[in-house]
Chains A and B, each alone.
Chain A
């Protein structure tokens, strides 16, 4: 009877001690943190801010839960382990999605750049066909100046791409392309107008 009592007390103490000694999932915490840092480095905060904030929030919630478990007598971290793994996966996916988004923007920029360069070349050709009479001379000079400015903006866009500022590059290339297209339209109209006059 006495032995039974001692065994019972020992068992309770062992359970308490065993429960208290359950280890924090530090490896999982580090892995989740690292994955999130990598996503941040790839520009997730800029290109997919909502997704980034959501992942960050999830990690913070798990950290709170972990500390809370540490504050209790019987701590088991199996739930948090699995949540940390979820966060790690989310962060890894976030990094991949960020790269995809960046590539999408980069492709859009490249396509617009190609279109812009082609239109610029076409504009140069149109300039030679535009009415060269004295009434058009000043306007053509102004257009040449503007085209020079737009050609310089291509270099600016390339520099922005090189420094991975894709949103900024996209903004600049879109605006410049609109202007190049406007000049194209202006030149085509002038040529059409002069050829109509020629037929009269």
Chain B
């Protein structure tokens, strides 16, 4: 009787129990969803974008330390996330990942800023270096090309020019690091040839004080006698004509193939340096070089030096001192080509030939300008 009564009560409460269970179930599910931590997808997107932005500025190359840190942290954060995902969903925590992402964004931003700064710097450095080397080439090219018997200096100079051209290509491709490496190589080659050039010139210019003195004496003599005097400046490739101590004309001149240095012996294709006199005037019937003024090479100084050089073994035994040095026409070839004479273009030779006479002083010097001036210009 009692059991029957209880059953009846329960049966009458079933709808209420069912609703309660369903409500509890829904409440439970809602609570579970509420307690489930939300995944750090947006934060990861932020991190990924910041790394990607940094890379676009070249941070992987120009701020590699910060960029690598950001990348490594990104990988670590991803591993942390995977590890969290292995746990039961309600026990997961993304706090550590969030901190990690903050660092990633910080480092990626630093990498970006540093990279932009470094790119600007290296760009300016490379551009300056290219310009500097280009200027150096312009400044030294003619001197190096005119250096006789110096194949290595010329070749090294040409290699330097090629490397510089390659560096410029890299610069245009924005490959600044490659450009910088090539600039180092080009600088090495250019500096090697320039230092060889300087060595030769420093040695050559040891006689500079003699040259300026010879020039002074020659002009002084022209002033005293009121007559013509000729001064040839080998370095400047110039022939100056003085009358009564005053400069009247200035002509371009071409010299012996091995123009640098004093003439030592016959066949060395050097143009002698010293104070000479015109010994003969040869008109076009007597010379194949239009007109010529022969000078008294070898003079006493030349002969003394030649004997000393022979004695000291500076020149081969059996060498001859040479002669027949002239100022003559048929110049204007644009290169040094004579066997040691001074060549002028025919119209200039006409003027010189007309103004000179037997006994006219002809002074040939290495350079009137000092070495520093030569290198500066």
- B151 lies within 8 A of chain A by Cβ: yes
Give the residue name and chain of the B residue nearest to A179 (CB): B162
- A196 lies within 8 A of chain B by Cβ: no
> Contacts A71-B39, A153-B162 given: A61-B337 contact, CB under 8 Å?
no
**CB-CB nearest 7 A-B residue pairs:** A135-B337, A71-B39, A68-B41, A175-B165, A135-B333, A64-B44, A70-B85
List chain A residues, Cβ under 8 A from B338. Answer: 134
Complex interface: stretch among A26-34, A103-111, A117-125, A136-144: A136-144
Query: Judging by beta carbons under 8 Å apart, are A64 and B45 in contact?
Result: yes
- A192 lies within 8 A of chain B by Cβ: no
Q: How far is the CA of A141 from the CA of B89 in the complex (A)?
A: 83
Query: Judging by beta carbons under 8 Å apart, are A61 and B48 in contact?
Result: yes
Is the contact region of chain B dominated by helix, strand, or loop, or is it mixed?
helix
Q: How far is the CA of A153 from the CA of B56 in the complex (A)?
A: 34
Number of A-B contacts (CB under 8 A): 97
Query: Judging by beta carbons under 8 Å apart, are A67 and B81 in contact?
Result: yes
Give the residue name and chain of the A residue nearest to B148 (CB): A138
Query: Judging by beta carbons under 8 Å apart, are B162 and A1 in contact?
Result: no
List chain A residues, Cβ under 8 A from B165. Answer: 175, 178-179
Additional A-B contact list (16), CB under 8 Å, known A138-B148, A172-B166? A12-B29, A53-B56, A61-B48, A64-B44, A64-B45, A67-B82, A70-B85, A71-B37, A71-B41, A71-B81, A141-B151, A145-B158, A149-B155, A171-B170, A175-B162, A179-B162
Query: Interface digits, B76-112 against A, CB 8 Å rule (1 contact, 0 not)?
Result: 0010011011000100100000000000000000000
Query: Judging by beta carbons under 8 Å apart, are A175 and B18 in contact?
Result: no
> Contacts A70-B85, A138-B335 given: A175-B166 contact, CB under 8 Å?
yes
- A93 lies within 8 A of chain B by Cβ: no
Query: Judging by beta carbons under 8 Å apart, are B18 and A5 in contact?
Result: yes
Using a CB–CB cutoff of 8 Å, the interface residues on chain B facing chain A are 14, 18, 21-22, 25, 29, 33, 36-39, 41, 44-45, 48, 52, 55-56, 78, 81-82, 84-85, 89, 92, 145, 148, 151, 154-155, 158-159, 162, 165-166, 169-170, 173, 178, 257, 333, 335-339
List chain A residues, Cβ under 8 A from B55. Answer: 53
Give the residue name and chain of the A residue nearest to B155 (CB): A145
List chain A residues, Cβ under 8 A from B158. Answer: 145-146, 149, 179
Q: How far is the CA of A165 from the CA of B166 in the complex (A)?
A: 14
Query: Judging by beta carbons under 8 Å apart, are B85 and A139 in contact?
Result: no
Query: Judging by beta carbons under 8 Å apart, are A68 and B166 in contact?
Result: no
List chain B residues, Cβ under 8 A from A1. Answer: 14, 18
Give the residue name and chain of the A residue nearest to B254 (CB): A135
Query: Judging by beta carbons under 8 Å apart, are A146 and B89 in contact?
Result: no
Give the residue name and chain of the B residue nearest to A68 (CB): B41
- A174 lies within 8 A of chain B by Cβ: yes
Give the residue name and chain of the B residue nearest to A49 (CB): B55
Give the residue name and chain of the B residue nearest to A153 (CB): B162
Query: Judging by beta carbons under 8 Å apart, are B81 and A9 in contact?
Result: no
List chain A residues, Cβ under 8 A from B151. Answer: 141-142, 145
Q: How far is the CA of A129 from the CA of B6 in the complex (A)?
A: 129
Interface residues of A in 1-27 (CB under 8 A from B): 1-2, 5, 9, 12
Q: How far is the CA of A149 from the CA of B84 in the complex (A)?
A: 64
Using a CB–CB cutoff of 8 Å, the interface residues on chain A facing chain B are 1-2, 5, 9, 12, 53, 57, 60-61, 63-65, 67-68, 70-73, 133-139, 141-142, 145-146, 149, 153, 167-168, 171-172, 174-176, 178-179
Nearest-neighbour CB distance to chain A for B312, whole angstroms, equals: 29
Q: How far is the CA of A141 from the CA of B36 in the complex (A)?
A: 85
Instruction: Give 14 CB contacts A-B under 8 Å.
Output: A2-B14, A53-B55, A67-B78, A68-B41, A71-B84, A71-B85, A73-B36, A133-B337, A137-B337, A141-B151, A145-B158, A146-B155, A149-B158, A149-B162
Query: Judging by beta carbons under 8 Å apart, are B41 and A65 in contact?
Result: yes
Q: How far is the CA of A1 from the CA of B15 in the complex (A)?
A: 9
Give the residue name and chain of the A residue nearest to B149 (CB): A138
Give the residue name and chain of the A residue nearest to B343 (CB): A135
Give the residue name and chain of the B residue nearest to A146 (CB): B158
Give the residue name and chain of the B residue nearest to A64 (CB): B44
Nearest-neighbour CB distance to chain B for A155, whole angstroms, equals: 14
> Contacts A64-B44, A175-B169 given: A142-B154 contact, CB under 8 Å?
yes
Query: Judging by beta carbons under 8 Å apart, are B92 and A71 in contact?
Result: yes
List chain B residues, Cβ under 8 A from A61. Answer: 45, 48
